[in-house]
Amino acid sequence: MKFKMLKSAILDATVTEADLNYIGSITIDEDLTEKANLRAGENVLVVDQTNGSRLETYVIVGKRGSGVICMNGAAAHLINKSDKVAIMTFEWTNKEMTPLFVLVDKENKFVKYC
């Protein structure tokens, strides 16, 4: 039997942009996608710690070192610039997993694994 398990999460990220004119997705700094083992097109759950909104979307890899966390398209109605978010991805598996937690600072730079 397979279970949907938390694979990784980026914690305490700050939304740097909200672009209503772009078709769906979340753009994430390439440094953070690597640290969190995320791939372009991968499904993620975004939880807004500021207003409680939750949504699923997919990853677009952003410019390395930019600190970008951009909500694109309709998601920009629910999650706004400057909001604090957690970005999580899951994996279906029948094995035990230890999730990877990536803590970032206020500029979305990697701080440490938790």
3 state SS for 11-53: EEEECCEEECCCCCCEEEEHHHHHHCCCCCCCEEEEEECCCCC
38-44 long-range contacts, CB within 8 A, separation 24+: 38/8, 38/89, 42/89, 43/89, 43/90, 44/87, 44/88, 44/89
| Residue of 8, 25, 53, 113 marked active site | 25
Query: With 90 as the cut, is the pLDDT of residue 71 above it?
Result: yes
pLDDT given for residue 24 in this prediction: 82
Cβ proximity of 46 and 26 under 8 Å: yes
List, in order of start, the domains of the chain with CATH numbers. Answer: 3-95 (2.40.40.20)
| Residue of 22, 53, 58, 66 marked active site | 58
pLDDT given for residue 108 in this prediction: 98
pLDDT given for residue 78 in this prediction: 96
Summarised one tens digit per residue, pLDDT across range 20-41 is 999 889 999 999 999 999 999 9
Q: Residue 43: beta bridge partners? A: 58
- Per-chain mean pLDDT for the chain: 97
Summarised one tens digit per residue, pLDDT across range 74-108 is 999 999 999 999 999 999 999 999 999 999 999 99
Give whole-number Cα distances, 30 to 6, 13, 44, in Å. 20, 14, 15
Active site residue 22: no
Active site residue 66: no
Confidence of residue 72 (pLDDT cuts 50, 70, 90): very high
Distance in angstroms (rounded) separating the CA atoms of residues 19 and 53: 17
